[in-house]
Structure 1
Amino acid sequence: MVHISDQSYFPLRVGNYQIYTVNETDINRLSCSTSLVPKKYDLKVLVFDSVKNTEGGFTYLIHRYTRADSTQAWIILDSWSARKDVNQVVVNEGNTPYVKLVFPMASGTLWNGNTYNGNAVEDYTMTDVGKSYTQGNGKKFSSTVTVVQSDNQDFIVYQDKRIEVYAASVGLIYKETTQLTYFQNDCGSGNTCCLGTQDPKTGIIYTQELKSYGRE
């Protein structure tokens, strides 16, 4: 049996890149009769540099780019950073650090993803360590891990579902975020009554699926 290092689920090396297909629906509606408008685009994540950090390791600098489709040029979206040590992976999304993975990896492991950002405690759960995973686009990965960041399945007031899937030697292959508030007392004069329809009033529905990866 080939041993797969836990560290390989989040490879960090200057020049590494991943390209994803993103489907995103941003929601801010006054009535449930208003149509939702989904967006589809490509996202590129590129490790472009590294610097020594105070922990004695390296922090890797990341640019994220978007484009409407493969016929368009990439446009820079923002800059993130990531660091990895023997115990954990910390990703700075903008200026907010999140503990994305912890080591050693084992199904059922819990940790506070907000350890370093001062937000309320949020328990992440590791599941399906070492399991194979097939994406909706048909791509198969033989060894993956799923991190459930939140799974509040409340379809009346507020839904919060966030998961990320990582593959050995690849990194993040799938991300899903569904954060929705639902219509409550919205039966005003002349408006469609939205109460109890399970229609979202505000929030986001977002999926990010790996399309390709490599090195520049």
Structure 2
Amino acid sequence: MKQNYAAYFPTLRSAAGRLGSAVLLAVAVAGCQNETEVLPNPGPEYYPLAVGTYRIYDVADTTWRNNAPTASRFQFREQVEAELSPDATGQPAYRVVRSRRATATDAWAVDSVLTVTVGRQTVTEQRNNRRSVELVFPVAEGKVWNINAFNAQDTIIAENRFYRNVGQPLSLTRNGKTYAYENTVTTINDVAVEANAAYTTILRTTFAAGTGPVYRVRRRFFHCDNTGTLGCNPSLNYQGQSRSEVLIESGK
């Protein structure tokens, strides 16, 4: 039975961060031969990369200022332009150019550039000199890790991202068209909801096997009144941004 992402969107919280985390390589001892065999690692198939490939996303974006929303729609294209020299550990890296246009008939304009590195244990993205851990291998339900392990946004031992719905189907509808995927995994980090009710950050990405990122959700809100009369209260929704990105086209 296919799932609708919206069905579980509001309910997940950072409590799953209490689950244990470790990045382990799975091994198996082969029968009586006393040999160690590395099991297949399905993780990288959730973020395939090849020079010349591209993905186009439909973006719905709403910015909130003083409790007043401003909505916009546009498109992002992420194109793999080059394979870079391997890093010191021999991990392949790719230069991905993200471009933006207002409508499908407009010309693309470069928005940003990121570097995606695919290792045996992780996939990382680096944008604006900040490196984040997007996937860890092997992929497993409930596995927790630190998305900021390579930057100074959190402590080294922080656990702020986890897997949900590993291997599950997903269908998304955008602009009247449905996009269906048989095998997906969703990474989630919902932070600061319990720790500080004045700040809310929700970051979620769904990856489809053989396709890559197909759905991204980002919500950042600062629940305070600029006038100083109401202070900070989780019931307020004065400042922030809500954005969703749905993959609508990919190819080479």
TM over 0.5: yes
Q: 2:184 aligns with which of 125, 144, 161?
A: 144
Question: Aligned equivalents of 2:191 and 2:153: distance in 1?
Answer: 18
Would you say the 8 A contact 1:19–1:210 is kept in 2? Answer: yes
Instruction: Tell me which residue corresponds to 1:109.
Output: 143
Q: 1:4-46 CA distances to partner (integer Å, 9 max, x unpaired)?
A: 82210010111111000111123333xx3xx311111000000
1:54 pairs with 2:88:
yes
Deviations 1:40-97 (A, max 9, x none): 1000000100111222132100100000011100010011010111100011122110
Change (3 A) 1:149 1:184: same
Structure 2 letter corresponding to 1:50: E
TM norm structure 2: 0.75
Q: How many residues align?
A: 205
Q: Is the 8 A contact 2:83 2:95 kept in 1?
A: yes
Distance 1:196 1:55, change over 3 A: closer
1:176-212 deviations in Å (ceiling 9; x for gaps): 0111011358475xxxx79869342222111111111
RMSD of equivalent CA atoms: 2.3
The 8 Å contact of residues 222 and 238 in structure 2, kept in 1 or not, is answered as yes
Alpha carbons of 1:82 and 1:187: their partners in 2 closer, same or farther (altered >3 Å)?
A: closer
User: How do residues 120-139 of structure 1 correspond to structure 2 at under 5 angstroms?
Assistant: 120=154, 121-137=158-174, 138-139=178-179
Answering whether residue 223 of structure 2 is matched by residue 165 of structure 1, we say no
Please tell me whether the aligned partners of residues 8 and 168 of structure 1 are also in contact (alpha carbons under 8 angstroms): yes
Q: Which residue of the partner structure matches residue 208 of structure 1?
A: 245
Which has a greater percent of strand? 1
Give 2:75's aligned residue.
42
Query: Residue 215 of structure 2 corresponds to which residue in structure 1?
Result: 174
Name the stretch that deviates more: 142-151 or 165-174.
Answer: 142-151
1:118 equivalent to 2:158? Answer: no
What's 2:22 paired with? none
- Output the TM-score relative to the length of structure 1: 0.86
